[in-house]
Amino acid sequence: MTPRTTADLTTPALVVDAAAFDHNIATMSAALAGARLRPHVKATKSTALAKRQREAGHTNFTCATVREVEVMAAAGLGDDLLLANEVVDARRLGAVAASGARITVAIDSAATLAAAVAGGVHECVIDVNVGLPRCGIAPDKAGALADDARAAGLNVRGVMGYEGHVVGNPDRAMRVAQCEAAMDLLLQAHKDVGGDLVSAGGTGTYDINTWANEIQAGSYSLMDTAYDKLELPFKQALFVLSTVVSVSDSFAVCDAGLKSLGMDHGNPLLPADVGEVWFCSDEHITYGPAATPAVGDRVRVTPAHVDPTVAYHDTMWVTDGESIVDQFPVDMRGW
């Protein structure tokens, strides 16, 4: 039976406030129109949601996994897909490219270059380490890798560098300074690499990073408590709907927990009039209630990190109040 209201949902369930979501899409589109934004689908993992972003004018997308690339292309969203992670087996990407989608892969070594060539991928960006100790080649070595890529027959579209160590800094002045330092490294590399793309950024630097010509923000559409601390103009749209399953004299328990919430950024939040989270276990949140609840009450829990939270669920239910008005299948889970 198709649920019509949140009361019909089995909890824990992922719900999206329609008005807040629409606000976020419109706000970002006004700030970064068209190709200035390359939405990152790793945060949302839903082609239905990505189609809403396309309706707002964004036709180029960033992906984190090969499966995301495959599903986006199959859904008709393959105009320009950037896999912003290195892979050592690009055959599935090559198959998607052969079907007519435009596929670009990030490379940062001779090995990932060779994988792109062997897999049949014809376009790449040079991934540059701009301060986050993760992937990316040293800026002064980027030009040589680009030369090797062109010699191997690839179209080098430009550079990519993610200032992931910057995007969550709650001090805006520090965020500005750190972003500038990171982008200085990326622009140095771009001088040697060439190409049209300077790709970087995230939700936390979307309005700060004026050096990149496309921004890879994704979390903005749904938001979480980590980004809410930055006082961005986006509203919290994503919640885990849970049910109170036990009440004692001093605490209550609802049926969300580690298996339905991304916890790497800390505990989720409850509304102030509901209570304060004490701790989370596999299937439960224990909290101190602000007022005595009853078993069966529904509680909206705000996740601390949107990306892994979404990946735990197979559907996002879009709501207007308690009415369900749409759904975003989470169809890009897996690898």
Alpha carbon 285 to its chain centroid, in Å, reads 25
Q: Assess contact for 69 and 81: CB atoms under 8 A.
A: yes
Residue 284's domain is classified under what CATH number?
2.40.37.20
Q: Are residues 135 and 256 in the same domain?
A: no
Within-domain flag for 30: yes
Q: Are residues 196 and 238 in the same domain?
A: no
* pLDDT score at 20: 98
DSSP 8-state secondary structure symbol assigned to residue 293: -
* Residues 6 or more apart in contact with residue 178 via CB below 8 angstroms: 131, 163, 165, 166, 169
Within-domain flag for 169: yes
* pLDDT score at 1: 76
Q: Are residues 193 and 107 in the same domain?
A: yes
Cis-peptide, bond into residue 303, ω within 30° of zero: no
**Dihedral over alpha carbons 316, 205, 72, 96 (to 10 degrees):** -150
Q: Assess contact for 215 and 180: CB atoms under 8 A.
A: no
Within-domain flag for 1: no
Rounded CA-CA distance 143/241 in Å is 49
pTM score > 0.85 for this model?
yes
Residue 31's domain is classified under what CATH number?
3.20.20.10
Q: Are residues 294 and 201 in the same domain?
A: no
**Dihedral over alpha carbons 313, 318, 321, 322 (to 10 degrees):** -60
Q: Are residues 143 and 246 in the same domain?
A: no
Tokens of 140: 């002064």
Within-domain flag for 116: yes
Q: Where are the beta strands (DSSP E) in 110-173?
A: 123-127, 155-161
Q: Which amino acid is at 5?
A: T
Within-domain flag for 228: no
Q: Are residues 125 and 193 in the same domain?
A: yes
Final residue before a domain boundary, out of 190, 223, 256? 223
> What range defines the domain where residue 251 resides?
6-13+234-329
* Residues 6 or more apart in contact with residue 321 via CB below 8 angstroms: none
Q: Which amino acid is at 137?
A: I
Closest CA to 237 of 318, 298, 168, 169: 318
Q: Are residues 199 and 102 in the same domain?
A: yes
Q: What is the CA radius of gyration of the chain?
A: 21
Within-domain flag for 335: no
Q: Are residues 255 and 306 in the same domain?
A: yes
Q: Assess contact for 102 and 93: CB atoms under 8 A.
A: no
Rounded CA-CA distance 84/127 in Å is 8
Closest CA to 261 of 245, 276, 279, 275: 279
pLDDT digit of tens for each residue in the chain (335 aa)?
Answer: 789 999 999 999 999 999 999 999 999 999 999 999 999 999 999 999 999 999 999 999 999 999 999 999 999 999 999 999 999 999 999 999 999 999 999 999 999 999 999 999 999 999 999 999 999 999 999 999 999 999 999 999 999 999 999 999 999 999 999 999 999 999 999 999 999 999 999 999 999 999 999 999 999 999 999 999 999 999 999 999 999 999 999 999 999 999 999 999 999 999 999 999 999 999 999 999 999 999 999 999 999 999 999 999 999 999 999 999 999 999 999 99
Rounded CA-CA distance 52/282 in Å is 33
Coil/strand/helix, residue 137: strand
Helices and strands in the chain, H and E counts: 9, 15
Tokens of 222: 């749904």
Final residue before a domain boundary, out of 166, 195, 223? 223
Q: Are residues 44 and 136 in the same domain?
A: yes
Q: Are residues 74 and 170 in the same domain?
A: yes
Final residue before a domain boundary, out of 223, 257, 273? 223
Within-domain flag for 31: yes
Rounded CA-CA distance 306/317 in Å is 15
Q: Are residues 158 and 291 in the same domain?
A: no
Count CB neighbours of 89 within 10 A: 11
Strand order in the sheet with 197-200: 60-63, 80-83, 103-107, 123-127, 155-161, 197-200, 214-215
Q: Assess contact for 146 and 112: CB atoms under 8 A.
A: no
Q: Are residues 266 and 170 in the same domain?
A: no
Count CB neighbours of 171 within 10 A: 10
Rounded CA-CA distance 15/72 in Å is 22
Q: What's the domain count of the chain?
A: 2
* pLDDT score at 151: 98
